[in-house]
Amino acid sequence: METLAIRSAVGAIRLTTTVASQASFRNCTVSSAFVGKNLGLKTFLSTSAVPVQQKLRCVRAEVGAKTVPVVAKAANRKASIKDVPESEFQGKVVFVRADLNVPLDDARIITDDTRIRASLPTIQHLVKAGAKVVVASHLGRPKKGPEDKFSLKPVAGRLSNLLGQTVELAPDSVGPEVESKIAALKEGQVLLLENVRFYKEEEKNDVEFSKKLAKNVDIFVNDAFGTAHRAHSSTAGIAEFVPKSVAGFLLEKELAYLSGAIKSPAKPFVAIVGGSKVSSKITVIESLMNVCDKVILGGGMIFTFFKADGKSIGSSLVEEDKIGLAKNLVALAKEKGVELILPVDVLVADKYAPDANTQECSSSHIPDGWMGLDIGPKAIEQFKEALKGSKTVLWNGPMGVFEFDAFAKGTYAVAESLAGLTKEGAITIIGGGDSVAAVEKAGLADQMSHVSTGGGASLELLEGKVLPGVAALDGA
C-alpha cells in the first residue's frame, strides 16, 4: 500500500487553501495525493500524473514536522462493492463499517432493528462471496470507555438471527485478542467488533487508532450512511491504511438517491421541508432552491415566516432572531424563480398537549393564546395540488406535531400523496430524521422510493457538503 504522507516536493509547499498548483502536483514525486481545503484536486488528479489519482480521500499531509489532516474533495463517483468482482472478496478480510446504532429499552432489548436490517445486503453479499467479514459499529454515546449498557451484545444476537448464522462478538474493537479472532475467521464467517466508541480516539479520527483498526484488513467497506458525515477512525481514517476502500450497498443507495436528487433530479422537483425550526433547515432550503421548482414549507418553522410577513401567530413556535432569515429565503425564492409555498390554513390548539382543544383557522390570523400544531384541511388540499405531476419529491421534516394523533393529519396526508406519486412513477425520497418516523407511523415507508437511514448525514448531503466517510473512499 502506498504511503499517504506527502514528502519531497509537496512538503516544501505551504499548506494553505490555495497552495498547490497543478504543475506542482505534476512535478513532484509524491506517493499519494494531497488535498488542501478547496484545492480542487478533483481537477488536478483527473488530469495529472499523480500515481494514486483514483484515490480521492481523506489523507494526512506531512508538511515539515507538522502533520495536518486534510480532506479530499469527492470524486464524481465513489467505488462501490458492485465495482469489486465477487471473486476478489474470497478469503479476504473485509472490514464493514455499518451503522448498527439501534434503540434499546431499559432491559437492553432492541426496539427497532431497521438499521441492522439495512446493513444485511452488504454483509450477506460478502458472506456469499467467501470473505472473512469483520463488522464494526458504534452504539450510543459512551463517554467513559467500555460500559455494558453500550455493548453491541444485543446486536450480535439479532444479527445472528437475521443472517441465519452465528455472529461472534469480539471483546474489543482493536488489540491482540481481536487480531487472533480475525486470523481465525473462516471464509463466510462474520465477527462483530465491540463498540468502536469505547475508544475516545475513534471520534478524534486518531491515526494510530485508525491503523489498529486497519491491521490485517484487505478491503474496507463503508456502509454506515448514518455516520458518514463524521470523520471518525472507523468511518474515514481507516481508509488511509487499507489497500481498497469502497461503499457498501446501503451507502451507495443513499448517495444515489440523495446526491442524485440535488445533482440531476427528474423535473418537476418539489421539496417539502417541515420540522420544528427554520434555523436547522436554512442551509438545506437554500441549497434546494438551486434545483427545485417548488419548495413547500410546513411544521413549526412556518410561523417564523408568517411573523416575518406581519401576521399574528398567537403563541405558535417562533424564532424571533430568524425573522430576517425567513425574509431572505422568501427573497431568494423570488430571485431563483422557485415557488415557495406556505400553508393557507393551520390547525391550532389551546395548549401543547394531545388532548388540547383545537380549531382550524386561516394562516393570516391565529388568535391570541392559540398555537399552530399542524397544517389545516385547506392546506392539505393546497399541498396535494402543488405536488401533482411532480417527478421527484424530497421530504424532510413533519408538517405538524405528528407524535400527537390530533396533529398528525397533515403529515399523514403528505405521506399518502407521496405514496400515490411513487405509484405514478415519481421518485419519492424521505430525507431522514422525523419524517422517516412519520412515514413509518403512517405505515407507508415501503411505498416511498427511498427512505434514508441518516438524519444528520442526509441533511449535510442535501446541503451539498462532502461527507468525510464518502470522501475517504476510492474513486470509481
Binding site for ligand AMP (CB under 6 A): 275-277, 280, 299-300, 317, 372-373, 397-398, 400-401, 403, 433-434
Q: Active-site residue 275, yes or no?
A: no
Minimum Å distance from CB 407 to ligand AMP?
A: 7
Three cell numbers, residue 293: 421548482
Q: Of 337, 366, 324, 362, whose CA–CA distance to 349 is shortest? A: 366
CA distances 34 to 158, 208, 232, Å, are 42, 20, 19
Q: How far apart are CA 96 and CA 81, in angstroms?
A: 11
Set 77, 158, 277, 465: catalytic member: 277
Nearer to ligand AMP, 237 or 410 (CB): 410
Minimum Å distance from CB 145 to ligand AMP?
A: 31
Judge contact between 48 and 26, C-beta under 8 A.
yes
Q: Active-site residue 443, yes or no?
A: no
Amino acid at 279: S
365 is in an annotated binding site: no
Q: Are strands 450-451 and 427-430 parallel, antiparallel or unpaired?
A: parallel
Nearer to ligand AMP, 268 or 397 (CB): 397
Set 11, 456, 464, 465: catalytic member: 456
Nearer to ligand AMP, 431 or 468 (CB): 431
Q: Active-site residue 277, yes or no?
A: yes
22-28 contacts at long range (C-beta below 8 A, 24 or more positions apart): 22/47, 22/48, 25/50, 26/50
For residue 475, the 8-state DSSP code is B
Minimum Å distance from CB 408 to ligand AMP?
A: 9
Q: Active-site residue 441, yes or no?
A: no
Minimum Å distance from CB 347 to ligand AMP?
A: 9
369 is in an annotated binding site: no
Nearer to ligand AMP, 193 or 451 (CB): 451
Nearer to ligand AMP, 218 or 403 (CB): 403
Set 55, 97, 115, 244: catalytic member: 115
What b/e readout covers 163-178, taking b as 16+ CB neighbours within 10 angstroms?
A: beeebebbebbbeeeb
Torsion sign across C-alpha atoms 458, 52, 206, 35: negative
260 is in an annotated binding site: no
Set 36, 237, 431, 433: catalytic member: 433
What b/e readout covers 293-312, taking b as 16+ CB neighbours within 10 angstroms?
A: bbbbbbbbbbbbbbbbeeee
434 is in an annotated binding site: yes
Residue nearest to ligand AMP (CB): 275
Three cell numbers, residue 104: 434499546
139 is in an annotated binding site: yes
Minimum Å distance from CB 418 to ligand AMP?
A: 16
Binding site as annotated, residues for (2R)-3-phosphoglycerate? 115, 197, 230
User: Residue positions in the annotated binding site for substrate?
Assistant: 99-101, 138-141
User: Would you name the residues annotated as active-site residues?
Assistant: 115, 277, 433, 456
* Positions at the binding site: 99-101, 115, 138-141, 197, 230, 281, 403, 432-435
Instruction: Give binding residues for ATP as ranges.
Output: 281, 403, 432-435
